[in-house]
Amino acid sequence: MIKLSNIEKRFGDAVILKNISLDITEGSVTALIGPSGGGKSTLLRCINLLEIPTLGSLQIGESKLEFSPGRKIGWPAIQTIRRQTGMVFQNFQLFPHRTAIENVMEGLTTVLRWPKAQARERAMELLNKVGMSHKADVWPATLSGGQQQRIAIARALAPSPRVLLCDEPTSALDPELSGEVVDVLGKLAAEGTTMVMATHDLRLASRIANNLVFLEAGLIVESGKAGSLFENPQQERTKQFISSINAAQTL
């Protein structure tokens, strides 16, 4: 359903992603793991074209784009890709001047031009799904980080995207609050929501991911089924990383 072929991303002379090729099947959960600066977040942002790849091709469903240096991608083509993705950010990015339900409704009414009554019904359905319907009319500033992230997940799901992209969805939360978010993401995974997430939280990845991709210095070092890669990684660098993160998360 999502196909990345030979993706390269440069910022000036710096090569951030190098020859990345991935196939992500519908209904799967893929976790991007690896050290900071390895390219995880940049890869996510290339999938929804918040960053335009320098080289390669991207396909989501029937929509395919080719990239090359100096080639300008038109706004309609970018919008076609973006409307098939939902994005959950590390720091929530809720509108502080909108209530919880208004945050979820915003994209439906302003971008998709849904009637307010229809948007409110959809937003309440999603707030109920993430366990936040009782906070529909409160301001984000009065909510915990875990509650804000659950609302952000509902907002990302509002337009029924083909894939949910999560950029370190639990890293800004303490362990108790991150558990709330992991529970919601686990429920979505069980329902067959296609997800790609960048995370340092191996407990999150091991609980809900079907596939793992280990990135370092912009390269895929190793990829495969999550269970096999966690239990028996083939590359020494992958073994070192998983061991070090597991040790840190048990302190």
Stronger pLDDT, 173 or 119, i.e. the higher one: 119
Q: Are residues 116 and 61 in the same domain?
A: no
Closest to 167 measured CA to CA, from 76, 65, 85, 245: 85
Question: Per-residue pLDDT for 250 more than 80?
Answer: no
* 29-58 pLDDT per residue, tens: 999 999 989 999 999 999 999 999 999 999
Per the domain annotation, does 215 fall within a domain? yes
Q: How many domains does the chain contain in total?
A: 2
* 187-238 pLDDT per residue, tens: 999 999 999 999 988 888 888 999 999 999 999 999 999 988 988 999 999 9
Q: Among the three residues 160, 194, 216, which one is the final residue of a domain in this structure?
A: 160
User: Which range, of 130-134, 157-161, 243-247, averages the lowest pLDDT?
Assistant: 243-247
Q: Are residues 225 and 134 in the same domain?
A: no
- Identify the CATH number of the domain in which residue 71 sits: 3.40.50.300
* 78-108 pLDDT per residue, tens: 999 999 999 999 889 999 999 999 999 999 9
Domain that holds residue 236: 2-84+163-249
Q: Are residues 71 and 122 in the same domain?
A: no
Question: Per-residue pLDDT for 247 more than 90?
Answer: no
Q: Are residues 79 and 179 in the same domain?
A: yes
Sign, CA dihedral 86-88-89-95, equals positive
Q: Are residues 154 and 218 in the same domain?
A: no
Per the domain annotation, does 89 fall within a domain? no
**Does the pTM exceed 0.85?**
yes
Q: Are residues 167 and 245 in the same domain?
A: yes
Question: Do 43 and 216 meet the contact criterion of CB atoms below 8 Å apart?
Answer: no
